[in-house]
């Protein structure tokens, strides 16, 4: 389970049925508000690359604060606790993968903006976890992002089920509730992290973020993607500075990480696990070689083009 908020587990629609765009926008507007307004607890199944895992979730909205805890019930122990979108602690393999997760509050879903890059449609109804749902498809208008099919709870607009497929119709990821209770507010005990949940240190310094923004830029971005955050931090092991840039289009997102190789021999990579890709390449600068890594939920061809477009103020001229 990736360390991300529940509402980012949204997946792909590709049904060729009559579109009801206005109604779809209304449902997505409700979806965008649901996480900030609705308390619930439940159990969901997550599938990626043919591997299944089961998770409990507790989500409480109280006194203007959103607190959430996710706990994997099978396989390796994994746990995440967040307050207002900021990760407080993680456990299991999520510790190593934390760099790919968002920090801070989730941006509001803007259906009007999405219509510039996706076709929105209400395509039917379903029943998930004993609850009636409406099916909304979000189909990309280009090859640079994935589409989504959402089964939204008719009562609350929470996502009960989602399926993500690539442009070939292959399933990349599935999220589906097997139990959802919206009539209770999780108590403090349910939201309390276990002793294995490792606290996440957060720096309040704004200076490194400015430096990272000024030092690097992309010559090419998929249409609609914008820089939403940038930061610079010291790697605990290598002691070198890691710059990061985060982009999204209001739904999909990716991050660019930049770190000096310090003369070490490094290997360029190109991998994909479900919808998440990681592409890295070496970049020569006047201060030495830098490893550029793009991680996100975009097609691998998009990630490769982004990695090739990274430039810095001190990038060495090509021979």
Model confidence over 196-249: pLDDT tens digits?
899 987 554 444 444 444 578 899 999 999 999 988 887 666 667 889 999 999
Residues 106 and 18 in one domain: yes
d(CA 100, CA 260): 19
Residues 239 and 140 in one domain: no
DSSP state of 6: G
Do the domain assignments include residue 246?
Answer: yes
pLDDT computed for residue 214 by the predictor: 57
Across 91-105, 207-221, 277-291, which has the greatest mean pLDDT? 277-291
Please say if the pLDDT value at position 103 is more than 80: no
d(CA 281, CA 310): 10
The residue from 148, 180, 199 where one domain ends is 199
Which residues form the domain of 270?
207-312
Please say if the pLDDT value at position 142 is more than 90: yes
Residues 186 and 54 in one domain: yes
**Rounded CA Rg of the chain:** 20
Number of CB atoms found within 10 A of residue 37's CB: 11
Report residue 11 as tokens. 């997946």
Q: Which has the closest alpha carbon to 31: 23, 43, 19?
A: 23
pLDDT computed for residue 3 by the predictor: 34
DSSP state of 8: G
Please say if the pLDDT value at position 97 is more than 60: no
Do the domain assignments include residue 241?
Answer: yes
Split at pLDDT 50, 70, 90, the class of 30 is very high
Report residue 274 as tokens. 């479900």
The lowest-confidence range among 135-139, 257-261, 303-307 is 257-261
Which residue did the predictor score with more confidence, 149 or 209? Answer: 149
Question: Residue 261: which H helix or E strand, with range?
Answer: none
Do the domain assignments include residue 214?
Answer: yes
The model carries a pTM of: 0.81
Instruction: List, in sequence order, every residue forming a beta bridge with 282; answer none if it has no partner.
Output: 291
Positive or negative CA dihedral for 37, 40, 44, 49?
A: positive
The residue from 170, 199, 228 where one domain ends is 199
């Amino acid at each position: 389970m990736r360390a991300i908020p529940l509402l980012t587990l949204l997946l792909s629609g590709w049904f060729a049925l009559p579109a009801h765009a206005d109604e779809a926008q209304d449902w997505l507007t409700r979806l965008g508000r649901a996480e900030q307004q609705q308390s619930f607890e439940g159990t969901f199944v997550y599938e990626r690359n043919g591997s299944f895992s089961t998770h409990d979730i507790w989500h409480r909205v109280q006194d203007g604060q959103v607190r959430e805890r996710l706990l994997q019930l099978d396989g390796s122990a994994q746990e995440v606790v967040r307050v207002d979108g900021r990760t407080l602690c993680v456990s299991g393999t999520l510790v190593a993968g934390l760099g790919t997760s968002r920090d801070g509050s989730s941006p509001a879903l803007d259906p009007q903006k999405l219509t510039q890059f996706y076709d929105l449609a209400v395509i039917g109804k379903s029943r998930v976890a004993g609850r009636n749902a409406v099916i909304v498809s979000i189909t990309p208008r280009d090859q640079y992002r994935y589409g989504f099919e959402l089964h939204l709870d008719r009562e609350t607009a929470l996502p009960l089920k989602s399926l993500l497929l690539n442009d070939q119709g292959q399933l990349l990821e599935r999220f589906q509730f097997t139990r959802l209770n919206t009539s209770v507010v999780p108590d403090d005990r349910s939201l309390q992290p276990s002793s294995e949940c490792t606290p996440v240190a957060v720096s309040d310094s704004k200076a490194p973020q400015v430096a990272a923004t000024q030092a690097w830029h992309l010559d090419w971005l998929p249409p609609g993607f914008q820089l939403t955050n940038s930061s610079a931090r010291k790697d605990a092991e290598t002691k070198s500075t890691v710059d990061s840039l985060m982009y999204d289009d209001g739904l999909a997102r990716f991050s660019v990480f930049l770190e000096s190789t310090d003369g070490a021999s490094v290997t360029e990579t190109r991998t994909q696990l479900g919808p998440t890709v990681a592409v890295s390449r070496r970049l020569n600068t006047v201060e030495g070689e830098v490893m550029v890594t793009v991680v996100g939920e975009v097609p691998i061809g998009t990630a490769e083009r982004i990695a090739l477009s990274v430039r810095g103020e001190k990038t060495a001229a090509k021979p």
